[in-house]
Structure 1
Amino acid sequence: MATQHKHHDHSEHSGDQLVEEAADVLREAGEQWTAMREDVFRVLADRARPASAYDIAEDVGKVRGKRVAANSVYRILDLFVRANLAKRIESANAYLVNTHPGCRHDCIFLICDDCGQAEHFDDDKLTNALRDGGKAHGYTNVRPVVELRGLCGDCAS
């Protein structure tokens, strides 16, 4: 039997409101919202396309005026993914900010093979079916990772 989620409206955030929402979510998870974490989050939120930890480290270094190690950024990004503040594009080893951090879904990513743009949509019926399929095969803590590749509307025209 598929897990049912109550329908709800996403609250999309941007700018300082997004940063405040992310800080609140992280604190509610029992974590600290440090200046470094805020810098990483702001840099990630300012990007329109998925970014690697190295790209983020470079940009955070510019903001801070000193070199920032990519492995430090990786640890922060891993925390952000666990806390649902960011999503990882597995096939590209890149990250996107979650503009509705208080909302948990298994996102389905659409990734443009030409320009690299990525967007997501939620389809609980589909991802719950995948989760249930994994459970039917004896797996626990199943986490669907779904990425669809193709050409975005701009690149296709």
Structure 2
Amino acid sequence: MASEGSQTFHWQDDDLDDANFQIHGRTLLYIVVLFSIILLITVIFFIYARCVVRSNSSSAHNPTNFSISLNSPPLSRPQGLDAATINSIPITIYHRSPADLSSLATNDSSECSICLGVFEEGEKVKVLQSCCHCYHCECVDKWLITHSSCPMCRTTVRVDSPV
């Protein structure tokens, strides 16, 4: 069947025996370096993914929190004033001064900077003693439950106890 010019191919299993397979020198070094690089990239990817998930979950609850940290505890919300302190802020009746009546420009003292509503003549307002800023009672009470500072100038609210 075989023609005169063709040779038959004989397969020998001894040629492909991997008992003598050995890795030496640079090949071993390249394999170790390649494995280390792949491991390092994988660890960095998982740390990055963890940070992104944490920042998305924390920013969903607190949009002003942009810090990304792996080991820091979640930031606590700022504490406001207690109800007794908020209720001890004196309520006054708003009266427009003659300068406010003649002024055509918008005056910051004639509107509540929380709700941006204009104060009406005879309306009940609270004036913070530390900075003299004026707000609607309901607006500033809601603010002071979660914050202990003035909404406009961030001065710490202090209430002088009546003596």
Task: Give the structure-1-normalised TM-score.
Answer: 0.19
Q: Flag the structure with higher helix content.
A: 1
Higher Cα radius of gyration: 2
TM-score (norm 2): 0.18
